[in-house]
Amino acid sequence: MNPNTDAPLFEKVTLIGIGLIGSSMARSMRGKGLAAHIAVCTKSASSLEKARELGLGDSFTHDPVEAVAGADLVVLCTPLGAYERIAQKIGPALKPGAIVSDVGSVKQQAIEDILPHLTAGVHLVPGHPVAGTEHSGPEAGYAELFEGHWCILTPTVETDAGATEKVSELWRRMGSTVEVMDARHHDKVLAITSHLPHLIAYTIVGTATDLEDHMKGEVIKFSAGGFRDFTRIAASNPEMWRDVFLENKEAVLEMLQRFSEDLTALQRAIRWDEGETLFKMFERTRGIRRKVIEARQDKPDVKPEDAS
């Protein structure tokens, strides 16, 4: 699409929200020269100050209207619950032909929150980079976060194909493989691959938190037996995840219901000493792991300096 890879893809990109994902986009885009100007906008005073210290952008403001002035691309990188309020504010301030995108983990509700506030001639290309770590905030980001990962885009039937392609190219240049998908289908797939795992991890770590005092220290000490993997998932940004569950309620509750039925079946098998049932259930899950490894999705994301 853009044969001259030295020219920036966008003249001005505005990032609203500058946490793990926003700051990783800023670092990657700066490193690769993908935007001539990056405007950083966040309501948090400490995040804005941190972003400035880290040199994540060319301009910094708390005011989204100021931030989006003249922008070719605006990416919402806040928790999902803030989208509607932000869209209301920036809608009238966007320049004709501007593209609005986001990085949220729920896509149908994102469209419903943003689209009504955009004028004709502004293009919505919702996005979801399937990458992340347990850490939050501007200092947690790193330029390589998206490399080798999927980025799912969920344009609506009305979305301009050129706009979708431009956002696709941005993600490809940041190292991702792009998949275009229907928003509702995205929400169902992610409900099982991401939302339910997080809900369960939060739950079991919460269950351990409520244990009798004399056991708590030992839970930490002997966490290598499986528990520690759940603590990592359950350390993710609570505000972001609250919004994910509220905004993908239907799909999450559906998957949770299936999970609960399956867990009850296993519980029953344990209670009635049905070893053969347990063995068969444990045996078949190995095939899925093999496929995850074959798909090269088995390595956790780790910020380079945190790798041991």
- Residue 48 or 240: which CB sits closer to a second copy? 240
- Given a contact cutoff of 8 angstroms between Cβ atoms, the answer to whether 34 and 12 are in contact is no
Strand partners, 128: 152
Which pairs from 264-271 meet CB under 8 Å and 24+ separation? none
- Given a contact cutoff of 8 angstroms between Cβ atoms, the answer to whether 169 and 73 are in contact is no
Write down the least CB distance from residue 305 to a second copy, Å: 15
Write down the least CB distance from residue 247 to a second copy, Å: 10
- Residue 43 or 249: which CB sits closer to a second copy? 249
- Residue 18 or 152: which CB sits closer to a second copy? 152
- Residue 55 or 242: which CB sits closer to a second copy? 242
Could you give the CA distance from residue 39 to residue 42 in angstroms, rounded to a whole number? 10
SS (H, E, C) the chain: CCCCCCCCCEEEEEEECCCHHHHHHHHHHHHHCCEEEEEEECCCHHHHHHHHHCCCCCEEECCHHHHHCCCCEEEECCCHHHHHHHHHHHHHHCCCCCEEEECCCCCHHHHHHHHHHCCCCCEEEEEEECCCCCCCCHHHCCCCCCCCCEEEECCCCCCCHHHHHHHHHHHHHCCCEEEECCHHHHHHHHHHHHHHHHHHHHHHHHHHHCCCHHHHHHHHHCHHHCHHHHHHHCCCCHHHHHHHHHHCHHHHHHHHHHHHHHHHHHHHHHHCCCHHHHHHHHHHHHHHHHHHHHCCCCCCCCCHHHCC
Write down the least CB distance from residue 240 to a second copy, Å: 9
Write down the least CB distance from residue 297 to a second copy, Å: 5
- Residue 94 or 234: which CB sits closer to a second copy? 234
- Residue 2 or 267: which CB sits closer to a second copy? 267
Write down the least CB distance from residue 160 to a second copy, Å: 26
- Residue 74 or 233: which CB sits closer to a second copy? 233
- Residue 63 or 147: which CB sits closer to a second copy? 147
Query: How far does Cα 213 stand from its chain's mean position?
Result: 35
Write down the least CB distance from residue 124 to a second copy, Å: 22
Write down the least CB distance from residue 6 to a second copy, Å: 31
Could you give the CA distance from residue 65 to residue 90 in angstroms, rounded to a whole number? 5
- Residue 54 or 208: which CB sits closer to a second copy? 208
Write down the least CB distance from residue 44 to a second copy, Å: 16
Write down the least CB distance from residue 7 to a second copy, Å: 31
